[in-house]
Structure 1
Amino acid sequence: MSFLNSASPASTTTGPGSVINDITVNNPPDDSITDLSFSPQQDLLAAASWDRKVRIYEIDSNSGNNQGRALFEHEAPVFSVAWTYDGTKVVSGGADKQVKLFDLQTQQSQQIGAHDAPVRAVRYVECGPSNTPAVVSGSWDKTLKYWDMRSPQPITTIQLPDRVYTMDSSQKLLVVGCAERQIVVIDLNQPQQIFKNSLSPLKWQTRAISCYPQGNGFAVGSIEGRCGIQYINEQDQTKQGFAFKCHRKMGSNTTTSTIRSVSSTSQAYPVNAISFHPVYGTFSTAGSDGTFSFWDKDARQRLKSFPELNGSITATAFNKNGSIFAYALGYDWSQGYMGNRPDYPVQIKLHGTKDDEVKQKKKRI
């Protein structure tokens, strides 16, 4: 039986989802996982980790069976990983201030760029009307740099308002989340300049940004357990933009009714990861509370919630057709060094998605 269709009886349209049949990836990293990225061409999953390595796993989408396919290293923790559109190469960036490119066929990696401070996020993009390929990297040195993968000198460097915390791209949209709640939007038809600079709609530090598959907006998550739905077009934003609470827990001595009236009795947890379904355009949020949920932004509703796991969820990703949802368990340092412990789990799990979890519900007439 395919693990994609082996749902537990507890997983119903109205009730919470089940993780009982989720597959554990073999030979996980030795330290917390910072980023996950699926190949856009086949079921290969790249995982970046604090252990200075990027691992690439090959996954059988029918059985969930998996094995290591490749591995390459940085000189310090790796913070971000992404694939080229043709699925032949992986780009990564980390605390060693390097941007690296790994060729899956030759199993060789090379440094293609560098910053003056740790590289927090990398993406592969296509720029301008001619779709010129480039790697873009964002750093704590407050710059964004584009690389053509063949030259050690950046094509363009953009000065940002603050350190880069998160970044994502889709179509011709690139969105960078910086410190002090600064959000920078770039139109990749004109990649050398900032299209729009604004403050996050959320009140606290930006933790995660993910662009819609259509490239017309993005979701932003923060450390206070909230998510903002944003559109690039001002009219769309006025009509469809909103923010909502997620990844909150009720206090131990409170009831649901008191939570609604006294917000201080709920505990907020950072939203560590947001991923959009490549087919349906719905999305996931995952957080320090060890839970993940699937949402429909157009209907403004939660599609499915899942039970709390035994550790923070640090990264997530959908595969190319959205049939597999990968999530990483590990310590996210949200509780400081005191919250870490030797037996804290470091795992990558594979959840086979079902339509009643990730597909938009039919609108009521």
Structure 2
Amino acid sequence: MSGLFGSSSAATSNTLGELKNDVELGSPPEDTISDLAFNPNPTDPKDFLAVASWDKKVRVYEILSNGQGQGKVAIDHDGPVFSVDFFKDGTKVLSAGADKQAKALDLNTGQPVQIAQHDAPIRCVRYFEANGTPMAVTGSWDKTVKYWDFRSAQPIGSLQCQERVYTMDVRGDLLVIGTADRYINVVNLNQPGKFYKTLQSPLKWQTRVVSCFTDQQGFAIGSIEGRCAIQYVEDKDSSLNFSFKCHRDPPQGSVTNVYAVNDISFHPQHGTFSTAGSDGTFHFWDKDAKHRLKGYPNVGGSITATTFNKTGSIFAYAIGYDWSKGYQGNSATYPTKVMLHPVQADECKPRPSVKKR
């Protein structure tokens, strides 16, 4: 069932979005941005954006009402930072990276503390709660996933994965782990000590990103080969699984250039989602209607990370070199920046279903 969304070259004018109102964040990182996260607390009127970078820092910006960002605080690591996430209440930021550590930064005091350690770089860190207790889960290239209670220096549990952890996401009680060799592990966080389900990605090439649905019923997978898969957790919903092509150029003769899907983000209210890739474009999709809502022009460089704010009114995307074209593809003039896209009313709303007579 691939290709249901149609090719990007078939876009009509009403599915072409605009970038003219996008705002560039001031004082950006000095190297490629690896992850983005907004504070999720619905009672906090402010938007804070955490930005993880290869320059060994996490920066936290306050997004002002005029769309500009103001740097608030930064946290240093001893190596490139790969992953960042907020506590549910928005008071602390989790970060992890190549220094094999995860840290928690208290935004009120500006003080970071180490909360996790692995035997190899930590690729992903995510916040979750177990019976109301704040927790972190880390996934590493040492092929383990570990759970951390912030009151203890030792992990309170771990899972041995088949291969190195490349990507991970949490939504409610759903934890999804993507590893090398295309393994996907699904965990019910009510029973964190075992895999609820293990499968191999329906996509034939390396997994780049997994992202959980807002309703926790399933997850999306993005690969390096310009494809996205929609996968439901329960077997009873397997008829709803499908994959589609994206982030690829129109064929030129017998050659089609394909690009990695670097990130997938779900809209917090509508359940629609974005894909962003090495081709420098992002798109909004409706998985239920199998429809592309909007596609956007090239932003001038690879998009390495994306996220929505808590209301879904801002879509943040990072532009930077992702090494998809190797050493020779990099240059001193390659842009490194974070852009804030104000989401218009119709951009991410699901399309009303049209029933055939």
Q: TM-score, normalised by structure 1?
A: 0.91
Structure 1 residue 15, shift from structure 2 partner: 3.9
Amino acid at match of 2:124: A
SS of 2:94's partner is strand
Residue of structure 1 equivalent to 2:351: 361
- Aligned pairs (5 A) from 1:163-174: 163-174=164-175
Structure 1 residue 218, shift from structure 2 partner: 0.3
Contact 2:302 2:322 in 1 (8 A): yes
SS of 1:14's partner is helix
Q: Distance in 2 between matches of 1:103 and 1:132?
A: 17
Structure 1 residue 284 corresponds to structure 2 residue 285: no
Structure 1 residue 102 corresponds to structure 2 residue 92: no
The match for 1:337 among 301, 317, 327 is: 327
Residue of structure 2 equivalent to 1:216: 217
Q: TM-score, normalised by structure 2?
A: 0.93
Structure 1 residue 13, shift from structure 2 partner: 7.4
The match for 1:80 among 64, 69, 83 is: 83
Q: Distance in 2 between matches of 1:109 and 1:13?
A: 48
Residue of structure 2 equivalent to 1:269: 259
SS of 1:357's partner is coil
Amino acid at match of 2:112: S
Structure 1 residue 64, shift from structure 2 partner: 0.4
The match for 2:128 among 118, 125, 130 is: 125
Gap runs ≥5 in structure 2: 1-11
- Aligned pairs (5 A) from 1:152-171: 152-171=153-172
Q: Distance in 2 between matches of 1:285 and 1:172?
A: 24
Amino acid at match of 2:209: A
Residue of structure 1 equivalent to 2:52: 48
Q: Distance in 2 between matches of 1:243 and 1:364?
A: 21
Q: In the comparison of the two structures, how many residue pairs are matched?
A: 340
SS of 1:250's partner is coil
Structure 1 residue 324 corresponds to structure 2 residue 325: no
Runs of 4+ in 1 over 2 A off after TM superposition: 130-133
Contact 1:13 1:356 in 2 (8 A): no
Gap runs ≥5 in structure 1: 1-11, 255-263
Residue of structure 1 equivalent to 2:7: none
Q: Distance in 2 between matches of 1:290 and 1:156?
A: 39
Q: Distance in 2 between matches of 1:189 and 1:124?
A: 15
Contact 1:13 1:357 in 2 (8 A): no
SS of 1:99's partner is strand
Residue of structure 2 equivalent to 1:14: 14
Amino acid at match of 2:303: I
Residue of structure 1 equivalent to 2:139: 138
Structure 1 residue 183, shift from structure 2 partner: 0.5
Structure 1 residue 14, shift from structure 2 partner: 1.1
Structure 1 residue 347 corresponds to structure 2 residue 347: no
Structure 1 residue 233 corresponds to structure 2 residue 234: yes
